[in-house]
């Protein structure tokens, strides 16, 4: 292995958090990773990682080496891509994570088109609503729908995410249609998340925000399940329109309290801050942003 490969392996060990996790991500034996780390330290004449039976951490020399090596590898990637010129053949493996419902419902066609455009490209896709540490788990890219707070990531906005407050005609005929936000307390609510209590935010015509407590009859950590429960008449649901749009278009669900505005979020492409973003990721981010935007197709019902 060359020196650049050893540098890349060292960075993977640091970002994965252990030799074991780095070996899993690199799909090579733990003993091989450990041996190459020792050879690198011997060649440099300095210990980079202090390790014992329970834990390991970077030495002062390791911290300095990691920062400089990261910059070198980013510069090498940038130089390689610049030298190749355009059009560029996109290859390698793109490892990405995205929310479960959003990924299954709206990334299928995008990944299919992108894969057809770049036949040498491979994909590793993780569709999950769990919190994912991109660096530790070796992901190049994530799609996240939330308020971004982690400063260790960079992000590009992909789409505006609107919400719908709705229920089935069957439920509304049986329980009555709420006319004011105070009426919601009398209704059965299908709650996303497993918290003990839940509120939703409604914005009136004067722009005043109202935090409205709701009674969670059914709680679940999956929007598709709550959608089906709402269609079956089990209660009122508050979900992103990228989940509810077909049911609203068909009349299986009806919007309620439309005199109030609902909060919005954004979908972002997120990637580690201090890592060079490869072309396969940059092109995919632009491709997704072009397909969605501020008026995504699921809001045109």
Q: Are residues 204 and 236 in the same domain?
A: yes
Residue 94: other Cβ atoms inside 10 A: 23
Q: Are residues 12 and 73 in the same domain?
A: yes
Cβ–Cβ < 8 Å for 240, 132? no
Judge whether 172 lies within some domain. yes
Cβ–Cβ < 8 Å for 9, 16? no
Q: Residues 46-71: what's their mean pLDDT?
A: 80
Residue with the bigger pLDDT between 226 and 49: it is 226
Q: Are residues 290 and 237 in the same domain?
A: no
Q: Is 14 exposed, middle or buried (0-12, 13-18, 19+ CB in 10 A)?
A: buried
Judge whether 242 lies within some domain. yes
Q: What is the CATH number of the domain that holds 108?
A: 3.40.190.10
Vertex 157, ends 152 and 162: CA angle to 5°?
120
Q: What is the pLDDT of residue 84?
A: 61
Q: Are residues 66 and 134 in the same domain?
A: no
Q: What is the CA radius of gyration of the chain?
A: 24
Residue 192: other Cβ atoms inside 10 A: 20
Q: Are residues 155 and 269 in the same domain?
A: yes
Q: Helix (H, G, I), strand (E, B), or coil: what is residue 2?
A: coil
Number of structural domains, the chain? 3
Q: What is the CATH number of the domain that holds 10?
A: 1.10.10.10
Q: What is the pLDDT of residue 197?
A: 67
Residue with the bigger pLDDT between 220 and 14: it is 220
Judge whether 44 lies within some domain. yes
Residue with the bigger pLDDT between 80 and 17: it is 17
Model confidence over 196-213: pLDDT tens digits? 768 889 998 888 999 988
Judge whether 260 lies within some domain. no
When mean pLDDT is compared over 53-67, 119-133, 182-196, the highest value belongs to 119-133
Q: Are residues 271 and 123 in the same domain?
A: yes
Q: Are residues 273 and 150 in the same domain?
A: yes
Q: What is the pLDDT of residue 40?
A: 87
Q: Are residues 155 and 172 in the same domain?
A: no
CA-based nearest residue to 270, from 154, 177, 179: 154
Structural domain range at position 69? 3-84
Q: Are residues 105 and 225 in the same domain?
A: no
Average pLDDT over the chain, rounded to an integer = 87
Residue 165: is its pLDDT beyond 70?
yes
Q: Are residues 209 and 251 in the same domain?
A: yes
């Amino acid at each position: 292995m060359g020196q650049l490969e050893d540098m890349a392996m060292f960075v993977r060990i640091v970002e994965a958090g252990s030799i074991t996790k780095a070996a899993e991500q690199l799909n090579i034996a733990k003993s091989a990773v450990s041996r190459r780390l020792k050879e690198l330290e011997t060649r440099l004449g300095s210990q980079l990682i202090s390790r014992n039976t329970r834990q390991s951490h970077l030495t002062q020399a390791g911290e300095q080496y990691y920062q400089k090596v990261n910059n070198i590898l980013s510069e090498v990637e940038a130089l390689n891509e610049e030298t190749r010129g355009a059009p560029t053949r996109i290859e390698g493996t793109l490892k990405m994570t995205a929310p479960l419902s959003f990924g299954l419902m709206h990334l299928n066609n995008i990944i299919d088109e992108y894969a057809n455009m770049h036949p040498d490209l491979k994909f590793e896709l993780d569709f999950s609503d769990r919190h994912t540490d991109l660096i530790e788990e070796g992901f190049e890219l994530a799609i996240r729908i939330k308020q971004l707070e982690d400063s260790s990531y960079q992000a590009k906005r992909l789409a505006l995410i609107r919400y719908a407050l709705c229920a089935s005609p069957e439920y509304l005929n049986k329980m009555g249609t709420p006319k004011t936000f105070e009426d919601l307390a009398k209704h059965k609510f299908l709650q996303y998340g497993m918290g003990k209590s839940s509120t939703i935010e409604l914005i009136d015509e004067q722009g005043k925000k109202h935090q409205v407590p709701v009674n969670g009859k059914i709680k679940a950590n999956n929007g598709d399940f709550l959608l089906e429960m709402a269609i079956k008449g089990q209660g009122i649901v508050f979900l992103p329109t990228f989940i509810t749009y077909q049911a609203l278009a068909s009349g299986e669900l009806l919007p309620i309290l439309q005199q109030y505005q609902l909060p919005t979020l954004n979908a972002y492409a997120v990637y580690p801050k201090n890592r060079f973003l490869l072309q396969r990721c940059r092109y995919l981010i632009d491709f997704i942003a072009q397909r969605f935007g501020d008026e995504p197709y699921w809001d045109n019902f």
